[in-house]
Chains A and B, each alone.
Chain A
Amino acid sequence: MQTLNEMEKKLINGWQKGFPLTKRPYAKMAADLQISEAQVIELLASLKERGILSRVGAVVRPNTVAASSLVAMNIEPDELDYVAGIVCAEPQVNHNYEREGELNLWFVVAAPSLEELHVILARIEKRSGYKTIKLPLTKAYHIDLGFQI
């Protein structure tokens, strides 16, 4: 687990929303954190490099710019690695988790359109010999205000 210093915590807790839409946004953050603009940029680069931040930018509402679906599969345990390899090989699979239970392989596919999404799933089914169970979201309830650490 990564340890964070006080400034890093302050930055992460304070800046998960409200990133300025101004010419020099990092300078605005710097004024808030009372450090220099260069220090803010350096800090963000370090957090990104260490994998603590996946990015600094926009969190886009699902199914706005792409068609996506959660998909589950019920795979024989000894074939799980093999099928997971097939799933991961699809560039548009962006989360792939092995989970305990009958449905043991879970992933999210995001494609530019619904048609393309179905093509990807059909390809996975054909290559793996297993069926995919599509569980697209019908409604989102989460108010994404960030995550306090």
Chain B
Amino acid sequence: MTQMKKRSNRIDATDRLIITATQHGLPLLARPYDEIARQTGLSAQLVKQRMSAMLENGIIRRMGAVPNHYRLGYRANGMSVWDMEEARIDDIGGLVGGLYFVSHCYQRPRCLPLWPYNFFAMVHARSKREVEAKVARIAHLVGEASRSHTILYSSKILKKTGIRLKERREETCSD
């Protein structure tokens, strides 16, 4: 799996500048890279070169339209969490992470005794029933590698924004 290869995590100040300038999206102007160049003081050529290099080494996963699942009717949003056998977790991750209805799939530490789950797969669906059916498909894939699992539903989105590199004091809860 290519995304599991160890890659360089390093970015320099120029890369960081570009990511910060584009974190809310590229400008919807005919020449968006020219505008980023103007904002950062870099040349448009360098902006494109660096973005291309970051795509190449996996720092940028993809570039394009970033849809909001919730607004598209995928409102059930269940986080399935699994108590997974360590020895199997990478194999299972490769399988589950490739499922089209899984939007995030991560290994995380347990926090015993309150939190026994070490594997997270976020399932997007239109209803709780559909989430459950999809989680059942994951359970089938996982088999005995998982000791137990559950689904956490969000009863309320309190705040949802993109990543912020710089503090923005004007942010509020109402987003």
Chain A interface residues (CB < 8 Å from chain B): 1-2, 4, 11-12, 15-19, 21-27, 37, 41, 44-45, 47-48, 50-61, 63-66, 68, 70, 72, 74, 84-85, 87-89, 91-103, 106-107, 110, 112, 133-149
Contacts and interface: CB of A to CB of B under 8 A. Distances in A.
A97 B120 CA distance: 16
Nearest first, the 8 A-B pairs at minimum CB distance are A55-B25, A141-B97, A141-B93, A88-B173, A96-B159, A17-B62, A19-B63, A96-B158
Contacts of A70: 108, 120
Task: Name the prevailing secondary structure of the B interface residues.
Answer: mixed
Nearest to A139: B107
B65 interface: yes
A94 B109 contact: no
Contacts of B33: 21, 23, 25
Contact of A58 (B63, B79, B90, B156): B63
B96 A144 contact: no
B71 to A, nearest CB: 5
A97 B51 contact: no
B87 interface: no
Q: What size tier do the contact residues of chain B reach?
A: 35 or more
Contacts of B161: 94-95
Interface of B: 1, 3-4, 9, 11, 15-16, 19-20, 22-26, 28-34, 44, 48, 51-52, 54-55, 58-69, 71-73, 75, 79, 90, 93-94, 96-98, 100, 102-109, 111, 114-115, 120, 124, 150, 152-165, 167-169, 171-173
Contacts of B64: 15-19, 56, 146
A139 B19 contact: no
A91 B169 CA distance: 6
Given A25-B32, A110-B164, A140 B26 contact: no
A149 B51 CA distance: 27
Given A15-B65, A147-B69, A57 B158 contact: no
Given A48-B25, A48-B28, A143-B97, A56 B156 contact: no
B68 A53 contact: yes
Contacts of B163: 60, 65-66, 68, 94, 110
A136 B115 CA distance: 13
